[in-house]
Structure 1
Amino acid sequence: MPSFTSAGFSLSYDVAGAGLPVLLIHGFASSGKVNWVDTGWVETLVGAGYQAITLDNRGHGQSDKPHDPEQYYPSQMADDAVALLDHLGIERVAVIGYSMGARIAAFMAFSHPERIASVIFGGMGMNLINGLTDGNDIIAGLRAPSLEDLKHPTARQFRIFAEHTGSDREALAACMETSRQPMPRADARRVEVPVLVAVGEADVMAGPPEPLAELLPQGEAVVIPKRDHMRATGDKVFKAAALEFLSKTYSSGSNS
């Protein structure tokens, strides 16, 4: 994978297809490949005529993995995403983020609205503002000596996922400490770009999508039927809603 430098870190990315660029920001303990390639998102977007850009966030995938929690605030990772756009010479882009990636996308849309045509928050509803209640359990689970010691269901889920992806668990624990920083309600009200909030019907981690969409000046919500946080990622209803949203909020005219 090619790489670029942001804030002293070497970060990996990939680009597929041609057409209007869509930046894909993955969730916690995942990677560009796991979150977006393996779930069919890159193929779907390229097939619809877009260029799909995947980024491995700091601490993940093939990017540098600091163990310092001070390096994982969502505003810092939002700056990484903007640095990638600068590296690629892209002025304006549509962004799709999932879970932690949606939080990063929200901070990006707040701080750099001129770089974003529209944005999709997948797997992130009202807990963008309310925060993540299971964060400390997830941290403890990542640092536990073995999976057998874990009883908390969410902690077990993320520990299994981290081991499956071959992740640096100490880097992930550091990331979880600060990347879950909530967005102030007043800041969410000032995200002016069009936003689609897409959350699984059985997703207890994200919080409901509708109240967040109502806070956002140009927000709309979609519920992904019968899906929880992990299984909503590559869902066909999610993809169809995203393509429809992009078709009405992102065009050659909106990118100029």
Structure 2
Amino acid sequence: MPTTFTAPDGLPLSYTVWEGDGRHRRPVVLHHGFAADSEVNWVRPGVVNTLVDAGFTVIALDARGHGASAKPHDSAAYGESVMAADLSALLDELKLDEVCLAGYSLGAIVSLLVATNDRRVRCLAVGGVGAGIVDFGGVDTRVVDREQIAAGLLAEDRADVLPAARPFRRLARRAGADTVALAAVLRAPSHGPFRLSALSVPTLVLAGESDQLAAEPERLAAAIAGARLVRVPGDHMAAVADPAFATALADFFAYTDTGESRLAIGSPV
């Protein structure tokens, strides 16, 4: 059942815990992508079940503006740095000393920020991102215009929605999202460039083979010391639902915990 805790600025945020069987000492914390929520991004594609079956306790946060969490309509309430503070506050709430952290798309950006600054993150997996992190510090603006997506989410007539915004509009509808809140998320200030050289934890980069938002993932992996890269079938919306995604995630986190690997989880880049 979802549980609520209070973010640093007082907003109520929702998270869910699925208990593992105790094989692994570190829980896996999941942060979903933009316009999705924990159910859409992690439960329905089978990622949570795969991780729990592998013995992990799994914790999934609904980010502010998404899912069952609070959804202010003011862009000042958002930003990746604010969401990173929420994730660290959740670790405080649960009194966790060390975790494995995985994020997808927007959640990958947030997770990279947390892993750079919070020593409780001992292993990291990021999906749905690529060279845009290296070149722009976040979303690849060569592919996606945040304002166009915001306008597409708010458009009353589908004919007014540009093609690049349509997948996010469909995703928001599937999730039953508050589109005004999502537009505010997109219009929040950016956090600035990443210090990828400061990352020192084992890191896995997961990218869909036809995901334009995760183009050139090898460049992202090369910018993180010792990072491994795994490509899976699918575009930005489909890659996380491919069974290879969840399997690679579970195998990588098991490897960082026990040193044993069932499958090839990618080579260091």
Q: What TM-score does the superposition give when structure 1 sets the normalisation length? A: 0.91
Deviations 1:160-219 (A, max 9, x none): 21122111101101101237x36525x012111111111101000122210011011131
Of 193, 203, 224, the residue aligned with 1:184 is: 193
What is the match of residue 239 of structure 2?
232
What is the letter of the counterpart of residue 250 of structure 1? D
Alpha-carbon distance in 2 for matches of 1:89, 1:15 = 14
SS in 2 for 1:118: strand
What is the match of residue 36 of structure 2?
30
* Residue 246 of structure 1, CA deviation: 0.9
What is the match of residue 262 of structure 2?
none
Q: For 1:136-215, what aligned pairs fall within 5 Å after superposition?
A: 136-150=147-161, 152-178=162-188, 181=190, 184-185=193-194, 187-215=195-223
Contact conserved, 2:46 with 2:246, CA < 8 A, in 1?
no
What is the match of residue 53 of structure 1?
59
Contact conserved, 2:13 with 2:64, CA < 8 A, in 1?
yes
Deviations 1:85-141 (A, max 9, x none): 1111111100110100000000001111x1101010011111123233222211110
* Residue 245 of structure 1, CA deviation: 1.2
Q: For 1:43-192, what aligned pairs fall within 5 Å after superposition?
A: 43-112=49-118, 114-129=119-134, 130=136, 131-133=139-141, 134=144, 135-150=146-161, 152-178=162-188, 181=190, 184-185=193-194, 187-192=195-200
Alpha-carbon distance in 2 for matches of 1:145, 1:188 = 40
* Residue 82 of structure 1, CA deviation: 1.0
Alpha-carbon distance in 1 for matches of 2:148, 2:104 = 20
CA RMSD of aligned residues (A): 1.6
Alpha-carbon distance in 1 for matches of 2:74, 2:193 = 24
Q: What TM-score does the superposition give when structure 2 sets the normalisation length? A: 0.87
Alpha-carbon distance in 2 for matches of 1:162, 1:86 = 30
Alpha-carbon distance in 2 for matches of 1:89, 1:44 = 25
Deviations 1:54-91 (A, max 9, x none): 11000000100111212222111111111111111111
Structure 2: stretches of 5+ with no match in the other structure: 260-269
What is the letter of the counterpart of residue 99 of structure 1? S
SS in 2 for 1:29: coil
Alpha-carbon distance in 2 for matches of 1:79, 1:111 = 10
Alpha-carbon distance in 1 for matches of 2:18, 2:150 = 34
Alpha-carbon distance in 2 for matches of 1:146, 1:24 = 34
What is the match of residue 6 of structure 2?
5
Structure 1: stretches of 5+ with no match in the other structure: none
* Runs of 4+, deviation exceeding 4 Å: none
